[in-house]
Amino acid sequence: MPLIASRRAVTIVSAGLRADRLRPDLTTIPLDGVEPGHVVLATRAGDNNRLLAVFRKAAEAHLTGPAPAG
């Protein structure tokens, strides 16, 4: 969040994000009429980080869409 607060980055978050949980120096702006986007998880080959494995499993359980080709 420091990069966002310093105006060096932006982020797009879920519409369900509660604005009252943000830092007081941040705000949200609704993006109406924007089509859903693709989510990609890129990792280093052979990365065996357990946190990464848990995140990947959670993402696969909650995201829907066509199976990747190949």
- Alpha carbon distance 67, 70 (integer Å): 9
CA separation for the pair 42, 3 (Å, rounded): 21
pLDDT band at 54 (very low <50, low <70, confident <90, very high): very high
Q: What is the pLDDT of residues 5-52, one digit of tens each?
A: 888 888 877 777 666 777 888 877 888 888 877 778 888 899 999 999
CA distance 18 to 69: 35
The answer to whether the CB of 27 falls within 8 A of the CB of 19 is: yes
pTM summary value: 0.44
Check residue 43 and give its pLDDT. Answer: 87
Tell me the two tokens of residue 30: 């609704």
